[in-house]
């Protein structure tokens, strides 16, 4: 069983393994990406990592294409010095787009907002057989570091919706 914590305003995760795409289809989809991104995917050693990265790259390009009415393959999504993808608006008067993606295990998640910086993270975790939900969430809570917990508590205190999403997993009251 998989547990996904998300607010109602967050997008649903994409399960990359659920695609079950044959290698030939992945190759065709990869060719839709610019050469630098194709090379980045090729450097990944595991097929699962390549597929997650491909799903993420396609989600970003789908968002950019829809936001600016640009056909896939007619624009590039470069990476900054830290390796994060970004997209500069095609015209000075065009609105910016902010997005973030994350992947772990079989999940790939993407978030975007037209005016605010966004962040999203995902963790693929399995509920151990025989453990209660409370025990599972307690174990998860124990894995959250002190600094991260303080940051989560600070942010959750300022956002009722964030508090609602994070409280079961982190113990923020």
pLDDT in tens, 44-76: 998 888 888 898 899 899 988 888 888 988 888
Give the number of other Cβ atoms within 10 Å of residue 64's Cβ. 22
Residue at which a domain ends, from 102, 126, 150? 126
Residue 30 or residue 154, greater confidence:
30
pLDDT above 50 (res 135): yes
Tokens representing 128? 């151990």
Examine the domain organization and report whether 144 and 116 are in the same domain: no
Strands (E), the chain: 14-15, 98-104, 107-113
Closest CA to 89 of 69, 103, 104: 69
Residue at which a domain ends, from 89, 107, 126? 126
Q: pTM to 2 decimals?
A: 0.65
Count: domains in the chain: 2
Examine the domain organization and report whether 69 and 148 are in the same domain: no
pLDDT for the residue numbered 149: 66
Examine the domain organization and report whether 84 and 164 are in the same domain: no
Examine the domain organization and report whether 66 and 11 are in the same domain: yes
Examine the domain organization and report whether 47 and 87 are in the same domain: yes
Examine the domain organization and report whether 48 and 75 are in the same domain: yes
For residues 103 and 122, is the Cβ–Cβ distance under 8 A?
Answer: yes
Examine the domain organization and report whether 102 and 147 are in the same domain: no
Domain span including residue 132:
128-173
Alpha helices in 69-132 (DSSP H): none
Examine the domain organization and report whether 99 and 167 are in the same domain: no
Tokens representing 157? 């205190």
Give the number of other Cβ atoms within 10 Å of residue 17's Cβ. 12
Examine the domain organization and report whether 66 and 132 are in the same domain: no
Summarize pLDDT for 113-127 with one digit per residue, the tens.
877 888 888 877 666
């Amino acid at each position: 069983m998989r547990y996904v914590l998300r607010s109602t305003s967050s997008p649903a995760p994409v399960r990359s393994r659920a695609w079950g795409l044959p290698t030939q289809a992945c190759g065709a989809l990869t060719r839709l990406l610019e050469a630098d991104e194709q090379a980045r995917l090729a450097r990944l050693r595991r097929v699962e990592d390549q597929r997650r990265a491909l799903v993420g790259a396609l989600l970003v390009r789908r968002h950019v294409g829809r936001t600016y009415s640009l056909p896939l393959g007619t624009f590039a999504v470069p990476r900054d010095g830290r390796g994060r993808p970004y997209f500069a608006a095609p015209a000075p008067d065009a609105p910016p787009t902010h997005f973030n993606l994350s992947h772990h295990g079989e999940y790939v998640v993407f978030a975007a907002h037209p005016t605010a910086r966004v962040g999203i993270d995902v963790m693929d975790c399995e509920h151990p057989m025989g453990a209660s939900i409370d025990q599972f969430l307690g174990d998860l809570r124990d894995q959250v570091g002190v600094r991260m917990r303080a940051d989560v508590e600070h942010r959750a205190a300022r956002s009722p919706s964030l508090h609602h999403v994070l409280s079961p997993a982190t113990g923020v009251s």
